[in-house]
Structure 1
């Protein structure tokens, strides 16, 4: 076949040869394109949908504008390193990043409607002609090439509405990135402080267990000396055993907290982690007027920004649905080239204007408009509900923080007095002027006071991060300002 094509190309008229060569080239090119379809699309962003502008670490968190790096877990890690690892490794951030890229691609699809479409059809056929005046049959090859271009001139705003819908949905996706980032930041911060609190609770349990052991030994010594009853010894021994059990429980809680921290960092739960700081008190002078905080949250919360964008996207969908039911005006151009060895050649070009008027589509456009209007009402209601929820979130977080800070101050006084009470009671018991009940009660009160102080400190640190997240202000700068400066190294 290709040899015949070569012979007939040589025999063609001079003006026909370039056309035959061009068509044969296009034919070969089409075959190559079918084998490697990647040449038909761009790996970049030709319509500037800002895909590259969407950060790998989404908006709301900046780690020195650097790409994610692996965290060195062989040494103690700080709160900042924990949050960095969480944002880089937690699947939630990967999911929201992929979702934003998909929506950016939808914006590109909407922009592409403003560009013309171009298609090229190449075909070939082989036949045999038998002239009446000859007894000999002549084979021939017929090639045709058709190039068609279409461009939509006017559609009563359908493309504009569709583009605005895509833009608003991309804005919503971008705001959702920030919301997800802040959720991951809060979860990692809570997990970090929870580990620290469990470490402090374990240390306190060990200290109380040691004190209980001292009380038990004192009771045992007095019993052996014959100056106390067996009941004193048994009561002290029971209290000692209970505190040993509490210490074992705290050890298990600490390991569970380590597993939760590893999980939010995107690591296996059995990953060994060492923290670089102990539990420290939250700053006291961080409260502002709650009304101002609620007002700031209304302007900064990324989920509210996303909700506003979804409402605007739904409103744009109404315009798009209305415009889709109206006529469209398009212009088209085509060029058809045919060249055959035994047939006449032709080269035809056409230019046309098309007006498409939808007459009846079974009332589908009417219901599409109704659905779009109902969706817009739904998005508006969701936006209003979120505004109320934000005010409640800020109010609750503010009150929790204020209560926690006051509780920290109160527990410091409580621990100080409980320590003095226990020392006095134990001294009196050793001197033989006190009883074991008073000693054990003072010992239990001291243990409770220490646990309450640890919990109050944990609550204050978490409440500050929660208030920042409720205001939409939890970012890297906020994380770095959180208390984590104690150089005590606590390991798993």
Structure 2
């Protein structure tokens, strides 16, 4: 997963400035709803789900008897069979037709196991669909928080510039009064130029974060929006996080990727039962109806036999049972059973792999969240100290006890500490939201 809070220092948009239209605000849930409805990955997975629904229906329909009709029209020349079962040199036209039906009564439970296998495949596909939705919601949450983070960095840059502007005004007054050298003013103005660049970079980061969110939502820029700024939870030193093992114990029972892997193991087991079923005899029921008409059929007195009478006399029907006993099928049944057993083993490995990946992801998120919490608490203390240090430095600079270089360094230290605090805060919030999500709690802000 892409890191949420990697600092992009010096980002510039060479293709032009993106303008976020603040005509309306979207909260996180509205972003979720729009993405689930419009994301192409979700749409493709929904198509796969509908395809498997059709496969389930077909597996059930295969238990029904079939019904087929046939119709033929023949033109005979020369010696042909007549109505009295003799041959004569005549030209004739005959029309024949019939109906046939067949129904499997038993075939080693292949039909029943096929239905169960298709149902398991459908359930696995539905779990895949939910996994796709979950991944999109996590990505949207990351981009949403990235926007909030970038906007706070922009506020820090603006506040820093405001302090510098005020100091420039004070220095100008001192220079004009002759109590300060002009070099001090030039140094602060140079610092102002650097901070203006930092502000531009922060603004560009906001715009880029919005662009990433719009693209993730498959939303055209013409329909852009501004995000709603939620009230984020307060981070305190005595916060406790749920243990990673406890999260994993819950996630193993609720995560869709684990369910999908388990269902595919069960589906492979049904495929093995189908392969074994081909070794058993199969019993089917069949029925047929046949009739024909010939334009040259005549009775013993030489009179042409009419259509209705021919259809009455030529009607034939049959009923029967067919028992098919497999004796030798070029080892197809044996090889299919072997392949099915190998497929089960492969799906079991995939299931274990999915569990291992889930465990590693949860442990990594937990570790990152704990580290972010510690960084936040340390940064919080650092900001408090830096504020006091900068206040003291500013007082000394105003009375000429230190030069502008020392002043700018103190202010830069404060700005960096504030940026580190913002970064740690949003990383902690995001990581804990992921932990909650693995624990079955929907993501909210």
Does TM, normalized by the shorter one, top 0.5? yes
1:290 corresponds in structure 2 to: 244
* Aligned residue-pair number: 402
Conserved? CA contact 1:151–1:331, under 8 Å: yes
For residues 394-437 of structure 1, give each alpha carbon's deviation from its aligned partner in whole angstroms, at most 9, with x where no partner exists: 22222322333343344333333323322322222112233323
**What SS does the aligned partner of 1:191 have?**
helix
For residues 439-475 of structure 1, give each alpha carbon's deviation from its aligned partner in whole angstroms, at most 9, with x where no partner exists: 212211121122112212211221122213434x25x
Note the C-alpha offset of 1:229. Answer: 4.3
Kindly report which structure 2 residues correspond to 1:37-48, keeping only aligned pairs within 5 A, or say none: none
1:315 to 262, 269, 288: 269
Alignment of 1:369 with 2:337, yes or no, is: yes
Conserved? CA contact 1:216–1:237, under 8 Å: yes
Conserved? CA contact 1:333–1:352, under 8 Å: yes
2:415 corresponds in structure 1 to: 447
Flag the 1:340–1:181 CA change in 2: closer, same or farther, 3 A: same
With 404-413 and 321-330 compared, the bigger mean Cα shift is at 404-413
2:287 to 323, 326, 333: 333
Distance 1:361 1:158 in 2: 17
1:163 corresponds in structure 2 to: 115
Could you tell me which runs of 5 or more consecutive residues in structure 1 were left unpaired when the two chains were aligned. Answer: 1-71, 484-492
Distance 1:189 1:81 in 2: 12
1:122 corresponds in structure 2 to: 71
Note the C-alpha offset of 1:257. Answer: 0.6
Note the C-alpha offset of 1:279. Answer: 7.0
1:202 corresponds in structure 2 to: 154
Kindly report which structure 2 residues correspond to 1:52-451, keeping only aligned pairs within 5 A, or say none: 74-125=23-74, 142-229=94-181, 231-269=183-221, 271-277=223-229, 280-281=232-233, 287-343=241-297, 344-345=310-311, 346-451=314-419
> Could you tell me the TM-score, scaled by structure 1's length?
0.74
Distance 2:287 2:234 in 1: 72
Distance 2:329 2:169 in 1: 93
Note the C-alpha offset of 1:207. Answer: 1.5
Note the C-alpha offset of 1:148. Answer: 0.6
**What SS does the aligned partner of 2:102 have?**
strand
1:20 corresponds in structure 2 to: none
**What SS does the aligned partner of 1:120 have?**
strand
Conserved? CA contact 1:258–1:269, under 8 Å: no
Distance 1:369 1:130 in 2: 55
> Could you tell me the TM-score, scaled by structure 2's length?
0.82
Conserved? CA contact 1:281–1:457, under 8 Å: no
Distance 1:291 1:265 in 2: 33
Note the C-alpha offset of 1:151. Answer: 0.6
Could you tell me which runs of 5 or more consecutive residues in structure 2 were left unpaired when the two chains were aligned. Answer: 1-20, 83-88, 298-309
1:458 corresponds in structure 2 to: 426
Conserved? CA contact 2:128–2:260, under 8 Å: yes
With 218-227 and 140-149 compared, the bigger mean Cα shift is at 218-227
Conserved? CA contact 1:290–1:395, under 8 Å: yes
Flag the 1:279–1:219 CA change in 2: closer, same or farther, 3 A: farther
Distance 1:78 1:422 in 2: 37
Flag the 1:455–1:417 CA change in 2: closer, same or farther, 3 A: same
Q: Output the aligned Cα RMSD.
A: 2.9
